[in-house]
Amino acid sequence: MAQAAQAPSGTRDLLADEVRRRKAAFNTLAQIFEGFGFDPLETPAFENLDVITGKYGEEASKLIFKILKRGIHEASGQADLALRYDHTVPLARVIGTHGAKLPTPYKRYAIGPVWRADRPQEGRFREFVQCDIDTVGSLSPLADAEVVLALAQGLDALGVHDFTFMVNSRKALYALLEAYGIDTSAGPAVLATLDKLDKVDAAEVVKELTAARGLDPEVAEALVGDVAAETSDRVRERLGTTEQGQAGLTEVDRLIELAISAGLAPERIVYTPRMVRGLDYYTGAIYEVVAAGYPGSIAAGGRYDHLVATLGGPDTPACGGSIGIERILAIQGSENTEQRGLDVALTVLGNEEHLMRLATELRSKGLRVGTYLGSSTKLGKQLKWANDQKARITVLYGADEQAASEVTLRDMQTGDQRRVPLGTAAADVCRVLEQS
């Protein structure tokens, strides 16, 4: 026997119960985002390649799924399109395209799939859903705080309660590099290496900073020692000596202060000097969220004030964040999966026309109704089908019922049965369901 075809590596087939569980989570987040005044936005699954490239940094750029040119250009091996890597760059492109039609500031949320040519592993996919919120057109720290609060409320609604926002600032990070005499041009590469501190030990990070980034070993060790220290005192002391460093610390402290004033517990948001965020487009406050029992970060975001300008739009301030819904759902497993069956299953033992009319009437009342479509005329097999469909009520319409213009309603949990007139069957079914 030939081996069954499999879904592409890094992707999944989602069956009915899992789809319902995911939709419930997405709807929960959408309701919260709407409550904060964010509007929905949908963008194409792919963008022009020049829109996507050069926006994410050295490591992330390697994960972009490129689409080869089609038709007579296919043989060239060149690409002109790319699958959406995230929802942030498409948003920046939308601002440049439709900015005149949009309110200022523009607040939007996006819940949809993105694609990354990553190496598939447990809990890591090449196609996955991101849940993003962003505010474009505001420099106010209230905008950053509002995103943090919406993400926090979303996590809590998803059942993730023991979480911590690790906050930093790109201004503070670059000021720290300046304090160590590290050239600005080397900044992105150095920060990309520092971003690995949560994945590998400090010695490996020091080694990469010296071997690959060209830092003096003493500088590399001191830098890593500062950002990886248990407290932020040493970093705060260094940053306090420069104007940019002070601006970065003020940015961090103000975001934390606003979030706490709005009700976020102090232990849920802390300044974390080692937290970098690898994407190049961030310009100000940045954060990642970790939670007990969940690997890596489960939410992240920050301020990116110049991204829109790189795509031909105005130099517009912006900030936003994203919830790692896939990691959360994977860890939670299927214990919260809604296993929804049929409200009503109709057996077919003759007089199909009457059954079709009854099915239509039941559906008009908002019920989920299934009709037996198999070939067996045996009631036992049809009841097994109804049970497999997790039906709550099964309608029997055999020869005796047809002769009396009645139907039998069978409760599939208790096995209780009652005969009711065919003409009132839909109303009777609704009453039985309300009572069960």
217 preceded by a cis bond (ω within 30 of 0): no
- What does the pLDDT read at residue 295? 84
Q: For the chain, give every residue range classified as CATH 3.40.50.800.
A: 344-435
Choose which CATH entry (3.30.930.10, 3.30.70.890, 3.90.1640.10, 1.10.3720.10) describes domain 16-332: 3.30.930.10
The superfamily CATH assigns to domain 344-435 is: Anticodon-binding domain (3.40.50.800)
3-state class (DSSP) for residue 285: strand
pTM: 0.84
In terms of residues, how long is the chain?
436
> Which 8-state DSSP code applies to residue 121?
B
- What does the pLDDT read at residue 191? 87
Backbone dihedral angles phi then psi of residue 420, each to the nearest 5 degrees:
-135, 155
Is 90 exceeded by the pLDDT of residue 277? no
Residue with tokens 């005969």: 419
pLDDT in tens, 316-369: 999 999 999 998 998 887 555 566 789 999 999 988 999 999 999 999 999 999
Q: Are 296 and 327 in contact (CB under 8 A)?
A: yes
Residue with tokens 């039985």: 432
pLDDT in tens, 187-242: 888 988 888 888 888 899 999 999 989 898 999 998 999 888 888 898 999 898 88
β-pairing, 39-40 vs 406-411, is unpaired
Q: Are 48 and 88 in contact (CB under 8 A)?
A: no
β-pairing, 163-169 vs 106-115, is unpaired
Backbone dihedral angles phi then psi of residue 37, each to the nearest 5 degrees:
90, 15
For residue 157 the two structure tokens come to 């609604």
Please give the Cα distance from 382 to 342 (Å, whole number).
14
pLDDT in tens, 103-150: 999 999 999 999 998 887 766 789 999 999 999 999 999 999 999 999
| Dihedral sign computed on CA atoms, order 243, 246, 248, 250 | negative
Q: What percent of the chain has pLDDT over 90?
A: 64
pLDDT in tens, 238-272: 898 889 999 999 999 999 999 999 999 999 999 99
Is 80 exceeded by the pLDDT of residue 159? yes
- What does the pLDDT read at residue 154? 97
Backbone dihedral angles phi then psi of residue 66, each to the nearest 5 degrees:
-95, 150
Element (H, E) at 382: helix 379-388
- Region of 425 (left: φ > 0; alpha: ψ -120 to 50; beta: rest) is alpha
CA 137 to chain centre: 23
Please give the Cα distance from 288 to 164 (Å, whole number).
8
Please give the Cα distance from 387 to 340 (Å, whole number).
12
Please give the Cα distance from 56 to 214 (Å, whole number).
22
CA 18 to chain centre: 15
State the number of CA atoms in the 13 A half-sphere of 409 facing the CB: 22
- Going by C-beta distance under 8 Å and a sequence separation of 6 or more, which residues neighbour residue 174? 184, 187, 244, 248
- Going by C-beta distance under 8 Å and a sequence separation of 6 or more, which residues neighbour residue 135? 105, 106, 107, 143, 146, 147, 318, 319, 320
- What does the pLDDT read at residue 308? 83
Mean of per-residue pLDDT scores for the chain: 91
Q: Which of 291, 287, 325 is nearest to 28 (CA)?
A: 325
| Cα distances (Å, whole numbers) of residue 41 to 87, 94, 320, 382, 390 | 10, 10, 14, 45, 36
- What does the pLDDT read at residue 259? 97
| Dihedral sign computed on CA atoms, order 271, 277, 280, 286 | negative
- What does the pLDDT read at residue 1? 57
